[in-house]
């Protein structure tokens, strides 16, 4: 059986940080008179809380359909820390669980620690650990927009991935983007889609992680689901994992 990283805790942490932001997004085009929402405030509220969520996991692993899968996501409230010698805030996210197919069962385990600026809440970088430690750093602080409406799309920025804490062994990059969708039947909320596209050092696209969050007009934000798509590679078929938060 070929091994694969099950989920990107890079994104799980990244998409749970508080962030200050500029204006609204661009791209798909907002609906005339559409209500606006504060994405930065939603992420800030999420980062200030301790969160525990039970997950249902489905999809495929190495081409085999998952017959049973469950997990738990836990996130601590942010605490004071340092990043590159400067004051920062750190937040830890952990994932655990199991998945089974007709051929095998696997344990899902990983964690990450995100670092962001203590005064502006812009994302600085993070440490992750699945099979091996990795270090992810933004060239400049990444800010989330403070005003978005349904139809907005935009780029948050790019983060570089390294296999060593000295940031010498380059392992690729993460492209972070967002899109805002109408939440049918609820004008007081939208669905925010946050995606993370990994590219390897040769700039070949790899796995894609898509997070769907519910964002309310009051600034409350909660995770709905995570979809992970692994492209086909030699000896390993394309796989898609669906992780849904249980009500």
Give me the sign of the Cα torsion angle 64, 14, 189, 147.
negative
How many C-beta atoms lie closer than 10 Å to residue 42's C-beta?
A: 26
Q: Do 7 and 108 form a contact (C-beta atoms < 8 A)?
A: yes
Using alpha carbons, select from 115, 70, 111 the residue that is nearest to residue 93: 111
Q: Can you tell me whether residue 13 is helix, strand or coil?
A: helix
- pLDDT tens-digit readout, 201-235: 999 998 898 999 999 999 898 889 989 898 988 88
Output the six-digit token pair for 152: 């907005």
Residue 3, domain member (yes or no): no
Please state the rounded mean pLDDT for residues 74-102.
84
Please state the rounded mean pLDDT for residues 166-180.
93
Alpha-carbon gap, residue 43 to 38, rounded angstroms: 9
For position 185, what pLDDT does the model report? 77
Dihedrals phi, psi of 35, to nearest 5 degrees: -70, 145
Confidence band (pLDDT; 50, 70, 90) for 165? Answer: confident
Does 3 or 57 have the greater pLDDT score?
57
Residue 106, domain member (yes or no): yes
Structural domain harbouring 42: 9-245
Q: Is the pLDDT of residue 31 over 80?
A: no
Using alpha carbons, select from 166, 234, 158 the residue that is nearest to residue 203: 158
Residue 189, domain member (yes or no): yes
Residue 1, domain member (yes or no): no
Please state the rounded mean pLDDT for residues 3-21.
41
Instruction: Report how many domains make up the chain.
Output: 1
Q: Is the pLDDT of residue 110 over 80?
A: no
Residue 177, domain member (yes or no): yes
Q: Do 37 and 222 form a contact (C-beta atoms < 8 A)?
A: no
Residue 212, domain member (yes or no): yes
Using alpha carbons, select from 241, 193, 165 the residue that is nearest to residue 4: 241
Q: Do 222 and 31 form a contact (C-beta atoms < 8 A)?
A: no
Does 10 or 106 have the greater pLDDT score?
106
Please state the rounded mean pLDDT for residues 185-199.
92
Please state the rounded mean pLDDT for residues 91-114.
83
For position 130, what pLDDT does the model report? 57
Using alpha carbons, select from 140, 145, 180 the residue that is nearest to residue 160: 140
For position 218, what pLDDT does the model report? 92
For position 210, what pLDDT does the model report? 92
Confidence band (pLDDT; 50, 70, 90) for 129? Answer: low
The CATH number of whichever domain residue 81 belongs to comes to: 2.40.160
Say what the alpha-carbon torsion angle 224, 228, 229, 235 is, to the nearest 10 degrees.
-150
For position 132, what pLDDT does the model report? 64
- pTM value is 0.83
Q: Is the pLDDT of residue 149 over 90?
A: yes
Q: Is the pLDDT of residue 90 over 80?
A: yes
Does 222 or 45 have the greater pLDDT score?
222
Please state the rounded mean pLDDT for residues 93-108.
87
Average pLDDT value over all residues in the chain: 81
Distances (CA, A) of 71 to 58, 79, 188, 241: 11, 25, 30, 13
Residue 196, domain member (yes or no): yes
DSSP string, 129-157: ESSSEEEEEEEEEE---S-EETT-EEEEE
Residue 2, domain member (yes or no): no
């Amino acid at each position: 059986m070929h091994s694969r990283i099950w989920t990107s805790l890079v994104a799980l942490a990244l998409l749970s940080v508080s962030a200050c932001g500029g204006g609204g997004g661009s791209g798909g085009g907002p609906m005339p008179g559409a209500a606006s929402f504060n994405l930065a405030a939603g992420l800030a509220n999420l980062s200030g809380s301790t969160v525990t969520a039970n997950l249902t996991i489905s999809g495929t692993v190495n081409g085999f359909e998952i017959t049973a899968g469950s997990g738990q996501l836990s996130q601590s409230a942010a605490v004071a820390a340092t990043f590159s010698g400067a004051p920062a805030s750190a937040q830890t996210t952990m994932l655990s669980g199991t998945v089974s197919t007709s051929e095998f069962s696997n344990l899902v385990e990983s964690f990450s620690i995100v670092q962001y600026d203590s005064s502006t809440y812009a994302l600085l970088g993070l440490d992750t650990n699945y099979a091996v430690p990795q270090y992810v750093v933004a060239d400049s602080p990444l800010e989330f927009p403070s005003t978005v409406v349904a139809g907005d799309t935009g780029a948050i920025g790019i983060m570089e991935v390294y296999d060593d804490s000295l940031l010498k062994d380059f392992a690729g990059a993460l492209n972070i983007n967002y899109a805002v969708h109408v939440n049918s039947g609820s004008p007081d909320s939208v669905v925010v889609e946050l995606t993370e596209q990994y590219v390897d050092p040769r700039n070949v696209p790899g796995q894609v992680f898509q997070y769907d969050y519910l964002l309310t007009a009051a600034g409350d934000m909660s995770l709905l689901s995570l979809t992970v798509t692994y492209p086909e590679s030699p000896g390993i078929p394309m796989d898609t994992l669906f992780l849904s938060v249980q009500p």
